[in-house]
């Protein structure tokens, strides 16, 4: 044992020599891939030779946990990630510090979304929106048309060819789900999602699972954030990306962590990120994010989307941020219960409805038409109403911290979800049965 101990101490001394925090170390907790982090690290260090940047890579949710758990003895300077709601969580727990940006020329809004946190805790440095990416070889081999709008994905030809990640796993996916629901209304919006999801091959647990699946041809089309599509194409994969009319552009952000050990260098990094030089780095083919400085687009490649001149981009949506915040976790949970975890059942129901409709064609069989309509209604049936979802007494169950102890919430999340699940499972099974019945009549 003694030998082992000596060994540990010896090697620890050896390593700690290099590991000790030097004067100018800047620690950034980030969810970004090496292509992004290495590019910015190299450029920033070239400009500030006395600062050494440490990029600490964590998935967004793990990053939040990390900053929370280490807050009492904080060693991180910046949090750098996409989803605005992640920053909201940190802000809500008083883990971010305010910072005033010196760079000028950045507008207030991109699309209908404010670029910076109105309270000054985090800053947007790039915009991204959701869209559809597809594998050209796959579509050609399977003789499938290109889908450009969300509604196109409902087409029965895409059965088993579409992939998406769960909104509970990715903040930006959540925004897409919410956007469509706000645009079409609660019942109609969810019906649309279920019709699309009926064609899913899979719901991935990681947001990168979707571009990965499309790139390798595991499935043909994917609902992805723009830079995944654009950077995959730039890396040489046979894929294309396009924005549907209904899309929300949201800023990707950076925020100063409370009690940052090196807030001076952290400030410099934020300034650099928003400077002309930093913004241009976003156009690197491996990064491909929409800059927030409109001037940068002059240097962009042809066909690169520009949300500041292309007014159709993200304009169709009037996004109610407060509504979205109120029912955030309820929407995630509903999606998981109705779609992610019951995908097999939903697919079975969708398939039999597709089949029945195909068999029906133009025939005038009242009985069959009625059965199909009933089956569709069963699939679309929602466990709760829009009003319930937005009520504090109801959605309080799904929140991390209730604002006031007096806010009463009845029931527990798991208990409520189990009830939803029983209902959804039964409805999908019944719908499958009815649609099969309809088909047997034809």
Partner 1 sequence: MVGLFIAAFLALFLLVPVVKVIYVAFIDPATGDFTLLNFKDFFDSSLFRESFYNSFYVSAMSVIVATLIAMPLAYFTTRFNFKGAAIIQTLGIIPLIMPPFVGAVAMKLLFGTNGSINLLLEEYLGINIPFMEGLNGVILVQSIHYFPFILINLSAALINIDSSMEEAAQNLGTRGLRLFRKIVFPLAMPGYIAGAALVFIKVFDDLGTPLLLDVNKMLAPQAYLRISSIGISDPMGYVISVILIAISLFSLWASFQAMKGRDYSSVQKGGGGLSKRDLKTGERIMVYAVIGFILFMVLSPHIGLLLLSFSTIWSFAVLPDGYTFAHYYTAFSSASGYITNTLIYAGLAALFDVVLGVAIAYIVYRTGLIGRKWLDYGASAALAIPGVVLGIGYLRTFHNVEVPIVGEPLASWWVIIVIALTIRRFPYALRACVAAIQQVSVMLEEAAENLGANKRRSVFKIVVPLMSGGIIAGFVTSFATASVELSATIMLVAKESDAPLAYGIYEFLQSASGRGPGAALGILAVIIVGLGTYFSHRIIERGEKKRNAAVAVNEE
* 328, 335, 394, 428: which one binds partner 1 (CB under 8 A): 328
Question: Which positions from 155 to 184 touch partner 1 by CB under 8 A, shown as an x/- string?
Answer: -------------xx-x-------------
Which of positions 95-124 make contact with partner 1 (CB under 8 A)?
none
User: Which region among 210-218, 243-251, 255-263, 380-388 touches partner 1 (by CB under 8 A)?
Assistant: 210-218
* 104, 309, 322, 400: which one binds partner 1 (CB under 8 A): 400
Cβ atoms of 29 and 76 closer than 8 Å = yes
Q: Based on the shown chain and the rule CB under 8 A, indicate whether residue 435 belongs to the binding site for partner 1.
A: no
C-beta of 137: minimal distance to partner 1 in Å? Answer: 4
Q: Based on the shown chain and the rule CB under 8 A, indicate whether residue 375 belongs to the binding site for partner 1.
A: no
Q: Is the Cβ of residue 159 or residue 341 nearer to partner 1 in the bound state?
A: 341
* 275, 388, 409, 437: which one binds partner 1 (CB under 8 A): 409
Burial class (CB in 10 A: 0-12, 13-18, 19+), 208: middle
SS (H, E, C) the chain: CHHHHHHHHHHHHHHHHHHCCCCCEEEEEECCCHHHHHHHHHHHHHHCCCCEEEEEECCHHHHHHHHHHCHHHCCCCEEEECCHHHHHHHHHCCCEECCCCCCCCCCCEECCEECCCCCCCEEEEEEEEEEEEEEHHHHHHCCCCCCCCHHHHHCHHHCCCEEEECCCCCHHHHHHHHHHHHHHCHHHHHHHHHHHHCCEEEEECCCCHHHHHHHHCCCCEEEEEHHHHHHHHHCCCCEEEECCCCCCEEEEEEEEECCCCCHHHHHHHHHHHHCHHHHHHCCCCCCCCEECCHHHHHHCCCCCCCCCCCCCCCCCCCCCHHHHHHCHHHHHHHHHHHHHCCHHHHHHHHHHHHHHHHHHCCCCCHHHHHHHHHHHHHHHCCCCCHHHHHCHHHHHHHCCCCCCCCCCCCCCHHHHHHHHHHHHHHHHHHHHHHHHHHHHHC
User: Which region among 267-275, 293-301, 333-341, 362-370 touches partner 1 (by CB under 8 A)?
Assistant: 333-341
Q: Based on the shown chain and the rule CB under 8 A, indicate whether residue 87 belongs to the binding site for partner 1.
A: no
Q: Based on the shown chain and the rule CB under 8 A, indicate whether residue 24 belongs to the binding site for partner 1.
A: no
Cβ atoms of 137 and 117 closer than 8 Å = no
Q: Based on the shown chain and the rule CB under 8 A, indicate whether residue 61 belongs to the binding site for partner 1.
A: yes
User: Which region among 7-15, 191-199, 299-307, 364-372 touches partner 1 (by CB under 8 A)?
Assistant: 7-15
C-beta of 298: minimal distance to partner 1 in Å? Answer: 25
| Length reported for the chain | 442
* 39, 112, 155, 218: which one binds partner 1 (CB under 8 A): 218
Q: Based on the shown chain and the rule CB under 8 A, indicate whether residue 377 belongs to the binding site for partner 1.
A: no
Q: Based on the shown chain and the rule CB under 8 A, indicate whether residue 418 belongs to the binding site for partner 1.
A: yes
| Residue whose token pair is 């294309």 | 240
* 228, 241, 335, 428: which one binds partner 1 (CB under 8 A): 228
How many angstroms separate the CA atoms of 381 and 370, rounded? 16
How many angstroms separate the CA atoms of 135 and 50, rounded? 45
Number of chain positions touching partner 1 (CB under 8 A): 94
Q: Based on the shown chain and the rule CB under 8 A, indicate whether residue 10 belongs to the binding site for partner 1.
A: no
User: Which region among 72-80, 250-258, 314-322, 348-356 touches partner 1 (by CB under 8 A)?
Assistant: 72-80
* 128, 173, 202, 350: which one binds partner 1 (CB under 8 A): 202
Q: Based on the shown chain and the rule CB under 8 A, indicate whether residue 302 belongs to the binding site for partner 1.
A: no
Q: Is the Cβ of residue 16 or residue 50 nearer to partner 1 in the bound state?
A: 16
Q: Based on the shown chain and the rule CB under 8 A, indicate whether residue 215 belongs to the binding site for partner 1.
A: yes
Q: Based on the shown chain and the rule CB under 8 A, indicate whether residue 258 belongs to the binding site for partner 1.
A: no
Q: Based on the shown chain and the rule CB under 8 A, indicate whether residue 430 belongs to the binding site for partner 1.
A: no
Strands 113-114 and 109-110: antiparallel
Q: Is the Cβ of residue 105 or residue 285 nearer to partner 1 in the bound state?
A: 285
Q: Based on the shown chain and the rule CB under 8 A, indicate whether residue 56 belongs to the binding site for partner 1.
A: yes
Q: Is the Cβ of residue 321 or residue 373 nearer to partner 1 in the bound state?
A: 321
Q: Is the Cβ of residue 139 or residue 372 nearer to partner 1 in the bound state?
A: 139
How many angstroms separate the CA atoms of 126 and 296, rounded? 11
Q: Based on the shown chain and the rule CB under 8 A, indicate whether residue 392 belongs to the binding site for partner 1.
A: no
* 26, 40, 51, 55: which one binds partner 1 (CB under 8 A): 55
Q: Based on the shown chain and the rule CB under 8 A, indicate whether residue 6 belongs to the binding site for partner 1.
A: no
User: Which region among 96-104, 231-239, 263-271, 314-322 touches partner 1 (by CB under 8 A)?
Assistant: 231-239
């Amino acid at each position: 044992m003694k030998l082992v101990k000596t060994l540990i101490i010896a090697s620890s001394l050896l390593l700690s020599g290099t590991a000790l925090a030097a004067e100018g170390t800047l620690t950034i907790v980030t969810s970004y891939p090496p292509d992004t982090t290495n590019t910015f690290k190299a450029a920033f260090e070239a400009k500030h030779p006395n600062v050494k940047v440490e990029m600490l890579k964590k998935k967004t949710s793990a990053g939040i946990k990390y900053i929370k758990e280490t807050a009492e003895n904080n060693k991180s300077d910046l949090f750098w990630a996409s989803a605005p709601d992640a920053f909201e969580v940190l802000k809500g727990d008083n883990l971010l510090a305010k910072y005033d940006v010196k760079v000028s020329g950045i507008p207030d809004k991109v699309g209908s979304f404010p670029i910076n946190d109105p309270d000054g805790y985090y800053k947007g440095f790039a915009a991204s929106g959701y869209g559809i990416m597809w594998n050209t070889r796959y579509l050609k081999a399977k003789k499938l048309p290109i889908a450009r709008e969300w509604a196109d994905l409902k087409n029965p030809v895409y059965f088993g060819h579409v992939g998406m990640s769960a909104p509970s796993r990715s903040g930006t996916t959540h925004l897409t789900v919410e956007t469509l629901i706000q645009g079409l209304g609660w019942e109609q919006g969810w019906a649309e999602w279920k019709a699309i999801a009926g064609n899913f091959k899979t719901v991935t647990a990681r947001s990168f699972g979707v571009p990965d699946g499309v790139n390798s041809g595991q499935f043909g089309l994917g609902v992805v954030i723009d830079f995944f599509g654009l950077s995959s194409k730039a890396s040489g994969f046979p894929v294309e990306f396009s924005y549907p009319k209904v899309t929300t552009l949201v800023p990707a952000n950076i925020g100063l962590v409370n009690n940052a050990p090196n807030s001076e260098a952290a400030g410099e990094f934020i300034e650099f990120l928003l400077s002309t030089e930093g913004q241009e780095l976003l156009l690197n083919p491996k990064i491909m994010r929409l800059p927030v400085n409109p001037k940068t687009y002059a240097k962009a490649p042809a066909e690169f989307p520009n949300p500041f001149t292309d007014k159709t981009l993200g304009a169709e949506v009037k996004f109610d941020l407060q509504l979205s915040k109120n029912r955030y976790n309820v929407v995630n949970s509903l999606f998981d219960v109705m779609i992610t975890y019951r995908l097999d059942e939903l697919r079975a129901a969708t398939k039999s409805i597709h089949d029945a409709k195909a068999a029906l064609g133009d025939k005038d069989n009242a009985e069959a038409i009625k059965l199909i309509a009933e089956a569709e209604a069963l699939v679309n049936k929602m466990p709760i109403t829009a009003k319930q979802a937005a009520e504090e007494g109801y959605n309080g169950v799904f929140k991390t911290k209730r604002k006031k102890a007096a806010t009463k919430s009845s029931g527990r999340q798991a208990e409520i979800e189990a009830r939803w699940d029983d209902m959804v499972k039964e409805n999908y099974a019944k719908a499958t049965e009815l649609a099969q019945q309809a088909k047997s009549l034809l």
